[in-house]
Chains A and B, each alone.
Chain A
Amino acid sequence: DVKVTQSSRYLVKRTGEKVFLECVQDMDHENMFWYRQDPGLGLRLIYFSYDVKMKEKGDIPEGYSVSREKKERFSLILESASTNQTSMYLCASSLLPGLAGGQNTGELFFGEGSRLTVL
């Protein structure tokens, strides 16, 4: 089974701190994503990466940066945490549809989430 592992399930940080959220996947997926999920707003894409060292802004990149130095690892960085970044952060990965045979429909596999509280 595909495994997407996020480094921390729960974090509490103070305003202005630098925060690192790490995500590792074990299935050689090209595509990796960081989302945040807030009540009533659904999942919103922060950044995604379709290859090593490649990154693309999503819908809400402000206040965030990312790093993808290795294919299996995609890190989300909050340079200076603010209270409005209190949220559930979800990492996900996928293959492109059609690769690796007919079983692959290109679906997303999610990590368990990191619930960040910024005080």
Chain B
Amino acid sequence: RKEVEQDPGPFNVPEGATVAFNCTYSNSASQSFFWYRQDCRKEPKLLMSVYSSGNEDGRFTAQLNRASQYISLLIRDSKLSDSATYLCVVNRIGTGNQFYFGTGTSLTVIP
């Protein structure tokens, strides 16, 4: 079983729509959780960290459910500039700081 699983999409949504991405992780010892954004042929960049209490940054809301080992990202009022691949990333401390990636969910926002 993969450490981190995401629906690869693609998600094609109209501008202004609300879209939700989900991610599950398999190891209950995982400690930190992140959503990264990756534009085509660019490096991944941190979108937001995900906290147990849930957190919001403008149009973006991230939720963590440790009991279900489930992470979500909600994007409200989608913009054309939101088109990208969104990576779910999970971290735990083993030998050093270890990260586990989902394969990414592709989003295209359509005019």
CB-CB under 8 A from A27, the residues of chain B are none
Task: Work out how many contacts link A and B, with CB atoms closer than 8 A.
Answer: 66
Within the assembled complex, what's the spacing in Å between the Cα atoms of A50 and B93? 11
Report if A96-B102 is in contact (Cβ < 8 Å); known contacts: A107-B34, A112-B42.
no
Interface contact A107-B42, CB-CB below 8 Å? no
A115 to chain B, nearest CB (A): 8
Chain B residue contacts of A105, Cβ below 8 A: 32, 34, 49
Question: Given A31, A96, A107, A115, which contacts B49 in the complex, CB threshold below 8 Å?
Answer: A107
Distance A109 CA – B43 CA, assembled complex (angstroms): 9
B59 within 8 A of A: no
Do residues B46 and A56 form an inter-chain contact, with CB atoms below 8 A?
A: no
Q: Are the CB atoms of B43 and A111 closer together than 8 Å?
A: yes
Does B99 lie within 8 Å of A108, measured CB to CB? yes
Q: Does A60 contact B (CB under 8 A)?
A: no
